[in-house]
Amino acid sequence: MTEPIRIAVVGHANAGKTSLLRTLTRRVNFGEVSERPGTTRHVEAVDLRVDGAAAVRFLDTPGLEDGVALREHIDSLDKAATPPERIRQFLRGPEAHGVFEQEAKVLRALLEVDAAFLVIDAREPVLPKFRAEIELLNACARPVLPVLNFVRDAASREAAWKELLSAYGLHVVVRFDAAAPFVGAERELYRDLATLLRDRRAALDRVAECLEEEAAQRRRAAGTRIADLLVDAASMRRTASADDFADPPTRQRLVGELQKSVFDKAQRCADDLLALHGFREGDADEAALPLLEGRWAMDFFHPEALKDAGILLGKGVAVGAAVGVVADLALAGLSLGAGAALGGALGGAVSQGLGPLGRKLVNKLRDVHELTVEDRVLFVLAAWQLELLRALESRGHAAVDRIANSSGEPAAAARRALADLVRAAQPARSHPEWETGSRLRWREAPQRQALVAAVARQVPAALAALAGP
């Protein structure tokens, strides 16, 4: 079996080494991330697996803390020795287990790997200590690929860092942001590394290909999950007598119960999207998300959200009346229909010859009221789940800020794409048995699976439309 490519992740304390590894490996719980300097005290390995085997073995190293003094000490060693020989002399000496213990761990790891990622916080000023660290790393005679981290920050000094790195022969530089990676940043990282490790080019190209394949699979799985939510919500139906609906407390309880069911389904979908992208629901300290604040369990039926959705649906993107439902009254995002589903079916049967018997049954059913989820709620539900997906696709596992829900009005193309999603889910309106958990031994019907697949095929277009040009 081919040995994994060994990469030491090195750099000054608090440059974002562990954060970078969390993003590259999609392991939000790897290591410890903190604003305190020197959080990582030991070399820790983590594998990136491809095709079931370890393809890259990363070594997370402690931060370099006193590069200037260490360089002076190494310069005082045998002048006739090569730079790597002087590094080994230092590692055999007492200082490697004393005052320079942390730096020794880094240099020892660097001598044992194929290459190194030099992680640089691009917000830091270019100080002499950083020049000393680069000189120490170069002395180990291993290929070094600088990774400029946090380049999106307004305080970034990217140009100054590139100038310094070029002065030390490090002309291939990767721009990265562990909190919000650029599209394709991982692919470019491995392809740039392949220019330094030509004998491992095939393996690194395979890593880049697998990353793209995994991203495509995640997006398909996410699209299917969102489509399942929309079909689930569209099929929801609750019935009660006309007397129950005439009683305000009873009606309020029924409305609240159905709203809570929608909340719970939306929450589970959001949790599934988080898990799919390697995040955990409880990562409030390190990958905080809005659903932890309860926002995702509040907005789907918020009056302002429903008002905005109603306005949008009225601007040429109406998705049509719900199949088989006559909306008699709107209640906080729920439609109150009279004898809707069965009444609609029997109404059709009357026209096919049931005559007076069919009409009697329809009139009898008028004493039964039904609550269903309005199209505008489905519209809002789809928009916010897609916004969450879009945020997760560009979110690094080192991010600590909260994902903000978009409060602006979607563009016309996005409104049309969202309306297409809602329209595609409409056939579920006439199948209340398609709601997940609607009965004890629920099994998904093939027709429901086909509808979910059809809705899922429209998710990529809606996602692209939300992202804008």
Instruction: Tell me the per-residue pLDDT of 120-170, one tens digit each, with 9 for 90 and over.
Output: 989 999 988 899 999 999 999 999 999 998 888 889 999 999 999 999 999
The answer to whether 418 touches 406, Cβ cutoff 8 Å, is: no
Look-up: residue for tokens 């109150």?
Answer: 336
Give the type of residue at 454: A
What Cα–Cα distance (Å) separates residue 53 from each residue in 5, 49, 56, 138, 208? 12, 5, 9, 31, 15
> What is the model's pLDDT at position 84?
93
Compute how many other C-beta atoms are within 10 angstroms of the C-beta atom of residue 241: 12
Question: How many angstroms separate the CA atoms of 378 and 395, rounded?
Answer: 26
Strand partners, 365: none
Compute how many other C-beta atoms are within 10 angstroms of the C-beta atom of residue 128: 10
The answer to whether 431 touches 235, Cβ cutoff 8 Å, is: yes
Question: How many angstroms separate the CA atoms of 179 and 153, rounded?
Answer: 11
> What is the model's pLDDT at position 401?
56
Helix (H) or strand (E) holding 55: strand 53-60
Per the structure block, which two tokens stand in for 424? 């595609």
Per the structure block, which two tokens stand in for 420? 């297409």
DSSP string, 396-452: -TT--SPPPPP-SPPPHHHHHHHHHHHHHTGGGGG-GGGSTTSSTT----HHHHHHH
Domain-wise residue ranges, the chain:
5-196, 218-467
**Full pLDDT tens readout for the chain, 469 residues:** 578 999 999 988 777 787 788 778 766 555 443 343 444 457 888 888 888 888 899 998 888 878 889 999 998 988 889 999 999 999 999 998 988 998 899 999 999 999 999 999 899 999 888 999 999 999 999 999 999 988 888 899 999 999 999 999 998 888 877 655 655 677 788 888 888 899 999 888 888 888 888 889 999 999 999 999 999 999 998 887 778 877 888 878 887 888 888 888 888 888 888 888 877 664 323 333 333 333 333 455 555 555 655 555 555 444 433 323 333 344 555 555 543 333 333 333 333 444 444 444 444 455 667 788 888 888 888 888 888 888 788 766 555 555 555 545 667 788 888 889 999 999 998 888 899 987 667 788 899 999 999 999 999 999 998 887 6
Question: How many angstroms separate the CA atoms of 284 and 282, rounded?
Answer: 5
Per the structure block, which two tokens stand in for 149? 């981290």
Q: What is the rounded (10 degree) CA torsion for 203, 204, 209, 211? A: 120
Look-up: residue for tokens 């690094």?
Answer: 396
Kindly report the three-state secondary structure assignment for every residue of 231-244: HHHHHCEEEEEHHH
Grouping H, G, I as helix, E, B as strand and the rest as coil, residue 12 is: strand
Question: How many angstroms separate the CA atoms of 27 and 222, rounded?
Answer: 19
Q: What is the largest CA-CA distance in the chain?
A: 109
**E strand map for 123-224:** 144-149, 174-175
CB hemisphere CA count around 111 (13 angstroms): 17
Compute how many other C-beta atoms are within 10 angstroms of the C-beta atom of residue 77: 15
Question: How many angstroms separate the CA atoms of 96 and 105, rounded?
Answer: 8
> What is the model's pLDDT at position 402?
55
Give the β-pairing of 174-175 and 44-50.
Answer: unpaired
Question: How many angstroms separate the CA atoms of 366 and 326, rounded?
Answer: 11
Exposure letters 291-314 (e unless 16+ CB within 10 A, then b) = beeebbbebbbeeebbebbbebbe
The span from the first CA to the last CA of the chain, in angstroms, equals 45
Give Cβ neighbours of residue 125 (< 8 Å, ≥ 6 apart).
Answer: 157, 160
Give the β-pairing of 174-175 and 237-241.
Answer: unpaired
Strand partners, 373: 334
The DSSP code for 141 is T
Grouping H, G, I as helix, E, B as strand and the rest as coil, residue 367 is: coil
The pair phi, psi for residue 352, each rounded to 5°, is -100, 10
438: burial class by Cβ within 10 Å (0-12, 13-18, 19+)?
middle
CATH architecture of the domain formed by 5-196: 3-Layer(aba) Sandwich (3.40)
Per the structure block, which two tokens stand in for 290? 């809005």
Look-up: residue for tokens 């519209």?
Answer: 379
Give the distance, in angstroms, between the CA of residue 82 and the centroid of all CA atoms in the same chain.
47
The answer to whether 456 touches 220, Cβ cutoff 8 Å, is: yes
294-310: pLDDT as tens digits:
333 345 555 555 565 55
